[in-house]
Amino acid sequence: MLNQDKQLSDYPQLEAYMAEIGMENEDTIDLKILLSEGLAEYATLNKEQKAIADPIIEKIKNSTQKKEKCCVFADGPGGCGKSYLFNVIRKIALGYGKKAMVMAWSGIAASLYPFGRTCHNGFKLEFPFENDSNSGIKPSSPQGQLLKELDIIIWDEFPMAPKRALEVVDGKLREIMGNDIPFGGKILLTGGDFRQIAPIVENGTRQETINTSSFAT
């Protein structure tokens, strides 16, 4: 759009749709039904999926205990069941009365999840997002309080995001939580395929793309 001297506001329907992503009220969810669905779907997970889900669910159950680093990356090609796994974990977390947010770098990927958000929406990232970009969230703001209350953040299609976004999210959560634990001590579950979609670097070389990727952190 930028190359055509266009912006999102030139497409009102698309702008309205993007604004709605992640904005529904999760308080209206029936947690008992959600937990029942989540546990039933958990039983269908394969061994590899359960190896990721089990420690995270255990952390979710004990999320009121001392905060510590908990960052997990689910690696796998498209179609291997990552999104299904993330939805199961989300349902179980919400079913246990915990706060969860699912986000993705693109609006299309975020829209695959109930209440999914883009990373720009969830963390008020500057747009366009550059190497010196930041988050516009203040800890005392409603958005800051929402992030403070979260127990788990699920970040799908993680390899699409530049490493600067990872650094900004990490720093903002530490600021909001008032500690120096990675991601403020939140459970961070990421996933994707680094072999599939890398961050976009305009006219960038292969090495510049690699250096921009969170794979380089």
Q: How far apart are CA 110 and CA 122, in angstroms?
A: 11
Per the model's pLDDT, the better-predicted residue between 121 and 67 turns out to be: 121
Q: How far apart are CA 100 and CA 88, in angstroms?
A: 12
Domains and CATH numbers, the chain: 28-216 (3.40.50.300)
The per-residue pLDDT for range 153-191, each reduced to its tens digit, is 999 999 888 889 999 999 999 999 999 999 999 999 999
Quote the pLDDT of residue 195. 74
Sign (positive or negative) of CA dihedral 175, 149, 108, 211: positive
What's the whole-model pTM score?
0.82
* 121 contacts 21 by C-beta, under 8 angstroms: yes
Please name the helix (run of DSSP H) or strand (run of DSSP E) that holds residue 84, with its range, or none. helix 82-95
Quote the pLDDT of residue 22. 47
The per-residue pLDDT for range 111-161, each reduced to its tens digit, is 889 889 999 999 999 888 888 889 999 999 999 999 999 999 999 999 888
Quote the pLDDT of residue 194. 75
